[in-house]
Amino acid sequence: MHQPLIDLQHISKSYDNTTVLDDLSLTVRENSFVTLLGPSGCGKTTTLRIIGGFESPDTGSVIFDGQDITNLPPNKRQLNTVFQKYALFTHMTIADNIAFGLKIKNKPKAYIQDKIKYALRLVNLDGYENRSVDSLSGGQQQRIAIARAIVNEPRLLLLDEPLGALDLKLRQDMQYELIRLKNELGITFIYVTHDQEEALTMSDTIVVMNQGYIQQMGSPESIYNEPENAFVADFIGDSNIVPGTMIRDELVEIFGAKFACVDKGFGTNQPVDVVIRPEDIDLVEPGHGTLSGTVTHLIFKGVHYEMEVTTPDGFEWLVHSTDLFPVGRKVDIHVDPFDIQIMNKPASEDEEAMGVNE
């Protein structure tokens, strides 16, 4: 097993007596694309700034490739940061912007020229050397900010919501560009966003954060399909999160109806939280499912219909289906056992914040 490129050990950070990070530990292996995902104020940008050297932790250590860099200034670290505000120098040409870090390091002129051409080619902006920053679109400015970072040949690139200022189409295009760049350069990326789709699309590892704690860390598939607690299930995509009772292994009761599932080890007759994704609900004719209800809401979303089905207990089930069931239609709900995710109910608010699901 290779040692991790980044190893955060028991990092804590507070501002004005408000704890932002609470005993956070995280390892990042080389050449991975790790996304820190969570709502505003969850601690993801603070984590990034501590890795970058722009903030110092109150407690804990930052280990880079086996070396303690906790007290090292940003310019001494083998990494670069791309911010949401691109921080390009408007009085300089594109070439001078890209060369800025290399000139500070007193690199030879010919070396710098080669690097500028190489970086512009990588970000698909060949021939832009002499343009001004103001003449570029937002997406082009974003590419120049990335080019300026990668000419320094960092082993780690930190990206703090770099696509947040772009429109949807451009953002999607840049997502694919970033994946391509990472694969071509072999650089480790740590990326901060609150956009779930962005995280699912780009990352090989997602770290879901809330209130200064890591809620879950894993592949996009495992985070989406097997959320470890209600926060993760609710934050990543749409979910129906309902109270249930685990009657015994592989059998859960939801609103008085018994559903077969595949989960074990929750005890007998124990209260649990049940997560069912909208796309995993099959609407069938009355008498052919497990719960009965009525379609009360319908929106056409292009790829599928989004419906709400209200059951007699008053719960509104969110359903995504390519089949149309009009408002007022009586239906039954069927869910395959593999599509039912069981989670322990947190015993307290503290446990809920920490994502405890033991």
Contact 165, 197 (CB under 8 A): no
| Residue 192 shares a structural domain with residue 261 | no
pLDDT of residue 317: 98
Residue 135 has what DSSP assignment? G
203 & 273 share domain: no
Q: State whether residue 97 is helix, strand or coil.
A: helix
Among 158, 194, 161, 208, smallest CA distance to 51 is for 158
CATH number for the domain spanning 92: value is 3.40.50.300
Residues 103, 194 share a domain:
yes
Is 317 inside any structural domain?
Answer: yes
Domain boundary (225, 254, 284) is at 225
Please give the pLDDT value at position 357. Answer: 46
- Whether residues 204 and 332 share a domain: the answer is no
Asked if residue 19 is part of any domain, the answer here is yes
Same domain, 67 and 43: yes
Listed in sequence order, the DSSP H helices in the chain are 44-52, 94-104, 109-122, 138-150, 168-185, 196-202, 220-225, 230-235, 349-354
Residue 122, both tokens: 């990588």
81, part of any domain: yes
Same domain, 198 and 263: no
Based on the number of CB atoms within 10 Å of its own CB, is 310 exposed (0-12), middle (13-18) or buried (19 or more)? middle
pLDDT at 358: 39
Helix axes 109-122, 94-104, angle to 10 degrees: 130
pTM: 0.85
Number of domains in the chain: 2
Residue 187 and residue 54 share a domain: yes
98 in a structural domain:
yes
Answer whether residue 233 is part of any domain: no
Residue 230 lies in a domain: no
> In this structure, are 157 and 14 located in the same domain?
yes
Residue 251 and residue 278 in one domain: yes
Contact call for residues 73 and 150 (beta carbons, < 8 A): no
Instruction: State both tokens at 335.
Output: 């869910």
Has residue 267 been placed in a domain? yes
Same domain, 261 and 164: no
pLDDT at 232: 93
Same domain assignment for residues 308 and 259: yes
Residue at a domain's end among 158, 190, 225: 225
Rounded alpha-carbon distances, angstroms, from residue 355 to 26, 237, 350: 15, 18, 9
**Domain limits for position 99:** 6-225
Residue 209 domain-assigned?
Answer: yes
Residue ending a domain, choose from 225, 247, 269: 225
What does the pLDDT profile of the chain (358 residues) look like in tens digits? 567 999 999 999 999 889 999 999 999 999 999 999 999 889 999 999 999 999 999 999 999 999 999 999 998 898 988 876 767 888 889 999 999 888 888 889 999 999 899 889 888 888 888 898 888 888 888 888 888 888 888 899 999 888 877 778 878 888 888 888 888 888 999 999 988 989 999 999 999 999 999 999 999 999 999 898 989 998 998 899 999 999 999 999 999 999 999 999 999 999 999 999 999 999 999 999 999 999 999 999 999 999 999 999 999 999 999 999 999 999 999 999 999 999 988 765 666 666 654 3
Dist. CA 351–CA 273, nearest whole Å: 14
Shared-domain flag, residues 271 and 177: no
- List the CATH number of the domain containing 308: 2.40.50.140
DSSP string, 291-356: EEEEEEEEEE-SSSEEEEEE-TTS-EEEEEESS---TT-EEEEEE-GGG-EEEEPPSSHHHHHHT-
* Cβ within 8 Å of residue 74, ≥6 positions away: 52, 53, 54, 81
